[in-house]
Amino acid sequence: MKDDRRLGRGLAGLIGDNYDNKKDRQEYLPISLLHPSKFQPRKHFDEESLKELASSIEKNGIIQPIVVRKDSNNDGYEIIAGERRWRASKIANLDSVSVIVKDLSDKECLKLSIIENIQRQDINPIEEGEAYKKLIDEFSYTHEELASTVGKSRSHITNMIRMLSLPGSVKTMINEKKLSMGHARALINVENAESITEKIISQGLNVRQTEKLIKDLHQSSDKKEQKYTQNQDIAAIEGTISSQLGLKIKINDNNSKGKVMIRYNNPNELDLILKILNRKLESCQ
């Protein structure tokens, strides 16, 4: 777990307090030699945010070097941490950038790329959940171990992963910040999450109102299910009596009260009904 503790500190753990590691070197490289990592968990970069960073880089340069490793099969360099700075540097039309060249295995690169992005505030919730899931799938972390490694609570890890089960359209609304994390948690494992999401957005429901809406819909569904079960039971009773009498029976039930109707089509069927009732009355005397 020593390596995990180092990685859990993000760039601070990777770079350290100085650059004296004999295997590492800090230098300037042509920006064209750098390329994104295959382990990068982020799929979306906000254009406005990149332009703001590019403006800052134009004025102040890159304050924190980009962390890279040498490609094994060509002269390029894979970005392990700092792709956003690299993209902004391209917008700023820099020819070269400050980098730290690290000697890292694929496993270390995967862990660091994910953890470094998780610890930044601008990764979207779905990408964060996917990053946690990938760490768990690849390295068999428990939620507790992963929480300790990335400096989050266990419940946060669990909730972020559970969000991945939401329908695609709902996850898009989360990424576009049309739904908050509170809304997302309320929608997990809820039927008709997409239609509920439409109501949340169109009616501007807050989290508490959303939770009440889901509770009311659940109770309504339970009542419908209960009514359906009661109707099935009544239908079974109607069938039993009908088969015994040879007559059509209809039971109208209203909250355990109601009436039983026996349909007859001729005087003989009515006479049969009367005989049955008379026998029942005589047996009760």
Residues catalogued as catalytic: 83
Cα–Cα distance list, 217 to 109, 191, 223 (Å): 46, 10, 10
* Residues 6 or more apart in contact with residue 183 via CB below 8 angstroms: 174, 197, 200, 207, 210
Instruction: Count Cβ neighbours within 10 Å for each residue of 84-99 and write b for 16 or more, e otherwise.
Output: bbbbbbeebebeebbb
Using CB atoms within 10 A of its CB, is residue 136 exposed (0-12), middle (13-18) or buried (19+)?
Answer: middle
Rg (CA), the chain: 33
Contacts by 245-248 with C-beta closer than 8 Å and gap 24+?
245/272, 245/273, 245/276, 246/272, 247/272, 247/273
**84 CB-near residues (< 8 Å, 6+ apart):** 45, 50, 53, 122
Backbone angles phi, psi at 66, to 5 degrees: -80, 135
Q: Are strands 77-81 and 66-70 parallel, antiparallel or unpaired?
A: antiparallel
Q: What residues have CB less than 8 Å from 149, skipping those under 6 apart?
A: 4, 5, 7, 8, 115, 135, 141
C-beta separation of 36 from 141 below 8 A:
no
H/E stretch holding 84: helix 83-91
Secondary structure (3-state) at 72: coil
